[in-house]
Structure 1
Amino acid sequence: MRMLTAAVFALAGLIFFTSFDTAKGTDIRQDGSLLKLSDLIQQRSRKNKDLDESNASLRDGVESLAKSDGGSSKAQDRRLTGLEKSAGTQKLTGKAVTVTLNDAPPNATAKLPGYPPPQPDYLVIHQQDLQAVVNALWQGGAKGIKVMDQRLISTSAVRCVGNTLILQGRVYSPPYKITAIGDPGRLQQSLADSKAIQTYMVYVNVYGLGWKVTDDGTVTLPGYSGTVDLHYAKPVQ
C-alpha cells in the first residue's frame, strides 16, 4: 500500500512539473500566443482576398496590354469577350434576384404543433441549403451568380464547415446572400419548384430559419478574380 501511495504522489508530481514547464508561468488556457484555429482561418481568408484583388489588377493590366498590342482582329476580340463572359471573368449587368439565408435564433422553439423541439442542426444553415439555392437559380436560367461578394464559375464549390461558408479560399458567416442575374420571374419560380428548398421552408416556418427573396432591379455582378488554373491529384512516385 505504501509503495502504491508513493507511486501516486510521484505521478502527480510529474504531472504538475510538466504543466508548469509547458505554461512557463502563463495561463495556458488564456494564452493569447496560442493562435486559435478560427483565427488562422480568418487570417488565411483575408490573405486570399488580398491575393484575389492583386490577381484581378494584374489581369486587367494584361488585358489592357493585349488590346493595345493590335495583334488580333475585331472578330477575335469579340470572340474572346464572349468567352470571358461565359467563363464569368467579366462583369455582368442585368436584372437580379437576391436570396438571403440566415440561422434561426438560438432560443428558437417549434412554432407549429406536432413538431419536436429543435436540435442544434435544425437552427443553422447547412451546405445543402446553399447548394439548393445555387442549383435552383442555375436551373431557372441564371446568367451569372454571386455568393456573398464572389462570382461563381464552373469550378466553384460551395462548402460549409460547421456554420461557416468556405468559398474559393475565403470564409464567411451568416447571413448568406446569393444574387443571380436573369429573368426575375423564372428565377423565383425555380426557387419555389425546388424540392430541396421546399424542405428547407418547413424549417423556416417551424423553427425560424431565415429566408428572404428580393427583386433587386438592375445590378452589376463582379467578374471572378481568382485563379482559373485547374488543380488535380497526381500519383505519388
Structure 2
Amino acid sequence: MLQIKQGQVAIALVCVVLGIMLAVQFRTTQDIRSTIPFQRLEDLSQRLIQTEKERDALLKEVHQLRQATGMEAASRETELIKMGAGVVALHGPGIIVTIDDSKRPSKPNENPNLYLIHDDDILKVINELWAAGAEAMSINEQRLIATSEIRCAGPTLSVNNTRYSPPYEIRAIGDPKTLENALRMRGGVVETLQFWGIQVSIKRQDDITIPAYKGTFRFEYAKPVKDGEK
C-alpha cells in the first residue's frame, strides 16, 4: 500500500514537472512569437534612419554639385566677358599683317600721300578681318576694343591714344586661311594698297599672343539697364 502511494506521488511529481515544463515552453514560444514583430519593427526603424541619412547626404551632394556648377558657369561667363572686353591676353592661331609705307617715289604732279599709309587703310584691313571672323586683334601691341580709335596724328597713327610710326603690325586670332583669303581677295584691300606700292606682308601662325587692353574704362553717361527696364 505504501509502495502504491509512493508511486502515485512520483507520478504526480512527474506530471507537475511536465506541466511546468510545458507551461514554460509555451510561454517561451509565446514570448518569441510576440517579440518577432518588435524586432522587425526595430530593424525597419534602423533601416529607415540609415536611408534618411543616405538621402540627406545625397541631397547635400546634389546641392554642392549645383553650387559648383553654378559657380563654374558664372566663372565661365565672367571669363567670356573679360575676353570680349579685351582685359585679358589671348592666344591662338591667326595671322600677322605687317604694313609699311611705299618705297616707290611719287611721279611728278602726283599726290605723295597716295604712297603713305593712312588711318582709313588700317581701318579697312581691320574691318575685313572682323568680318572674316577674327576674335581678337591688336595693332603694335595695342589691343583693339570697342572704344579704340585709329586715326591719323600727323605722320603717325594714334591707337588707344598712343602714337605709332610705320611699319604697323596687326595681329588677329582666328582661322588663318580664312583671314588671309579675306585680305587677298581680288580687288580687295591688300590689292589696292599694293597698287600704290604699300608694302603688305601676311604670315600665318599656329599660335600668336594678343596682349590685354592696358587703358582704363570710363562711363559718364552710359548706365546698365536693370531687369524689367526697356
Pick the TM interval, shorter chain: 0.5 to 0.7
Structure 2 residues without counterparts, runs of 5 or longer: 1-69, 222-230
1:113-170 CA distances to partner (integer Å, 9 max, x unpaired)?
A: xxx7642212210111100111111111001001001110111121112320111111
Structure 1 residues 124-135: aligned runs within 5 Å? 124-135=116-127
Partner of 1:73, secondary structure, is helix
* 2:218 is the alignment partner of 1:229: yes
Structure 1 residues 99-178: aligned runs within 5 Å? 99-105=97-103, 108-109=105-106, 118-178=110-170
Q: Tell me, in whole angstroms, the C-alpha distance in 2 between the residues paired with 1:210 and 1:117.
A: 22
Q: Tell me, in whole angstroms, the C-alpha distance in 1 between the residues paired with 2:106 and 2:116.
A: 13
Structure 1 residues without counterparts, runs of 5 or longer: 1-71, 111-115, 233-237
Q: Tell me, in whole angstroms, the C-alpha distance in 2 between the residues paired with 1:162 and 1:121.
A: 12
Amino acid at match of 1:217: D
Q: Tell me, in whole angstroms, the C-alpha distance in 2 between the residues paired with 1:230 and 1:147.
A: 24
Residue 88 of structure 1 and its aligned partner are, at CA, apart by: 1.5
Q: Tell me, in whole angstroms, the C-alpha distance in 2 between the residues paired with 1:73 and 1:172.
A: 42
Q: Tell me, in whole angstroms, the C-alpha distance in 1 between the residues paired with 2:151 and 2:83.
A: 25
Structure 1 residues 18-167: aligned runs within 5 Å? 73-105=71-103, 108-109=105-106, 118-167=110-159
Q: Tell me, in whole angstroms, the C-alpha distance in 1 between the residues paired with 2:129 and 2:76.
A: 27
Q: Counterpart in 2 of 1:219?
A: 208
Amino acid at match of 2:184: A
Q: Counterpart in 1 of 2:14?
A: none
Q: Tell me, in whole angstroms, the C-alpha distance in 2 between the residues paired with 1:187 and 1:102.
A: 19
Partner of 2:170, secondary structure, is strand
Q: Tell me, in whole angstroms, the C-alpha distance in 2 between the residues paired with 1:117 and 1:161.
A: 25
Query: Where do 4+ consecutive residues of structure 1 move more than 6 Å?
Result: none
Contact kept in structure 2, 1:147 and 1:178, CA below 8 Å:
yes
TM-score (norm 1): 0.58
Aligned counterpart in structure 1 of residue 182 of structure 2, from 171, 179, 190? 190
Q: Tell me, in whole angstroms, the C-alpha distance in 2 between the residues paired with 1:131 and 1:213.
A: 16
Q: Counterpart in 2 of 1:48?
A: none
Aligned-residue CA RMSD (Å): 2.4
Q: Tell me, in whole angstroms, the C-alpha distance in 2 between the residues paired with 1:73 and 1:139.
A: 33
Partner of 2:217, secondary structure, is coil
TM-score (norm 2): 0.60
- The sequence identity of aligned pairs, in percent, is 34
**Aligned in 2, Cα 1:95/1:212: closer, same or farther, shift over 3 Å?**
same
Contact kept in structure 1, 2:128 and 2:183, CA below 8 Å:
yes
Q: Tell me, in whole angstroms, the C-alpha distance in 1 between the residues paired with 2:145 and 2:106.
A: 38
Contact kept in structure 2, 1:125 and 1:163, CA below 8 Å:
no
Per residue, is there more helix in 1 or in 2? 2
* 2:172 is the alignment partner of 1:200: no
Partner of 1:224, secondary structure, is coil
Contact kept in structure 2, 1:98 and 1:178, CA below 8 Å:
yes
Higher RCO (C-alpha 8 Å, min separation 6): 1
Residue 86 of structure 1 and its aligned partner are, at CA, apart by: 1.5
